[in-house]
Amino acid sequence: MTGSNTRTERKARRRLGIWLGFAAVGIATGAVWATGFASVGGATGANVSSPMVAPSAPGAHAPDLQGVVTAGSPLTVDWAGRWGSTASTNFFTVDLSSQANTRTFNLAFLLTNDISGDGWSSLQLQLEAVDIATGPCDPADFDGTNRPRVMAFDAQDAGVYWNGLAGGSVYCIGVNASDGNDTAGTFLRRASDSSGPAEYPTFVATVDRAS
C-alpha cells in the first residue's frame, strides 16, 4: 500500500515538473501567455497654418430712393426795371408712388451756388410741395397754398424742408406765379435798372426716408 502511494506521488511530481517546464519556456519566449501587440513610430509631415475662412464678396447696395427725384424747369424771371416777376414753375418732381404710404420721407430744396455780388439786391421765393396721385407735375397745380415754405437767400446754405411726407404719392416742388413784390412770399429785385443779374440761383432737391 505504501509503495503504491509512493509511485503515485512520483508521477504527480513528474507531471508538475513537466508543466512548470512548459511555463518556464512560455515565459521565456512570450509565445504562451503574452497578449498580442503591434507598434509603429511617427514622423512630422506637412506643418502649415490652417487656411483662413474666406468671406463672400458683398454685393453693391442698391439705394432704395435712387431715381425718384427728377429735375423740371429752371427759375425764369421777367424784368421791368428792377422788379422781377415769375410764372408758375415746377422745379423738381419727387416720385414716391412706389413707396408704401406707411413710410414717411423728408424732402429738401437747397441752394447750390453763391450768387453774392451777381446783381441781386433782394431774392426770396415762396415754394410749395404739391401732393398729386400720379405724375407728371403741372405748373398749374401751384397756387400758393400747398405746404408753402419761404426761402430767403440770406446765406449760401439757404434751403427749405418738408418733413414726414407719406409715401404712395408724387410731390411737385415749385413756385406759384408772382409779380415778385410779395414781402411775405416771392420777392425779386435786382441791383440795376437795365441789366443783370449776372448769375441765377441753382438748386438741388433731396429725399430721405424718415420712418
Give the CATH number, domain containing residue 204.
2.60.120
Q: Are 99 and 82 in contact (CB under 8 A)?
A: no
Q: Tell me if 54 is assigned to some domain.
A: no
Name the amino acid, one letter, at 17.
Answer: G
Angstrom distance (rounded) from CA 143 to CA 69: 22
DSSP 189: E
Same domain for 104 and 15? no
Pair 150, 84 in one domain: yes
State the pLDDT at residue 39.
85
Looking at this protein, which amino acid is placed at residue 140?
Answer: A
- Show Cβ contacts of residue 131 under 8 Å, excluding neighbours closer than 6 positions: 146, 147, 165, 169, 170, 171
DSSP-derived secondary structure letter, 139: G
The parent domain of residue 118 ranges over 69-209
pLDDT of the residue at 166: 98
Q: Are 99 and 190 members of one domain?
A: yes
C-alpha torsion angle, residues 23, 28, 32, 33 (rounded to 10): 90
Report the alpha-carbon distance of residue 118 to residue 201 in Å, rounded: 10
Successive 10-residue mean pLDDT values, the chain, 211 residues: 57 58 52 69 89 92 92 98 98 97 98 96 98 94 97 96 98 98 98 96 97 96
pLDDT reported for residue 107 = 98
Q: Are residues 169 and 83 part of one domain?
A: yes
Residue 95 sits in the same domain as residue 184: yes
Answer yes or no: is 179 within a domain: yes
73 shares a domain with 18: no
> Considering only CA atoms, which of 186, 162, 185 is closest in space to residue 75?
186
Number of domains the chain contains? 2
Is 89 within the bounds of a domain?
A: yes
Domain presence at residue 59:
no
Asked if residue 115 and residue 202 are part of one domain, the reply reads: yes
